[in-house]
Amino acid sequence: MTTLRHRLATDTRYLLLSFPLAVISFSLIVAGVAAGLGSAVAFVGLPVLAATAAMARNFADVERVALPAVLGTPVARPDYREAPIGAGWFRRVMNPLTTGQAVMDLLYGIIAFPIAVAAFVVTVTWWAGAIAGLLFPLYGWMIADIQDVHGGLPSLLGLGDGPTVIVVFNTVVGLLFALTLVPVLRGAALIKASIAQAMLTRPVYAQRTMPAHTPGLGLS
Share the mean pLDDT of the chain.
84
Quote the pLDDT of residue 100: 85
Angstrom distance (rounded) from CA 33 to CA 106 = 9
Contact partners, residue 99, CB within 8 Å, separation at least 6: 78, 79, 80, 81
Cα–Cα distance for residue pair 123/17, rounded to 1 Å: 11
Task: Identify the burial level of 51 via C-beta atoms within 10 angstroms of its C-beta, where 0-12 means exposed, 13-18 middle and 19 or more buried.
Answer: middle
How far apart, in Å, are the Cα atoms of 161 and each of 19, 133, 134, 147, 183? 39, 17, 20, 12, 32
Q: Where are the beta strands (DSSP E) in 12-89?
A: none
- The DSSP 8-state label assigned to residue 207 in this structure reads P
Q: Which residues are CB-contacts of 7 (< 8 A; sequence separation ≥ 6)?
A: 182, 186
Q: Mean pLDDT, consecutive 10-residue segments, the chain of 220 residues?
A: 86 96 96 88 83 94 95 91 79 84 94 97 96 86 61 60 75 94 96 95 59 48
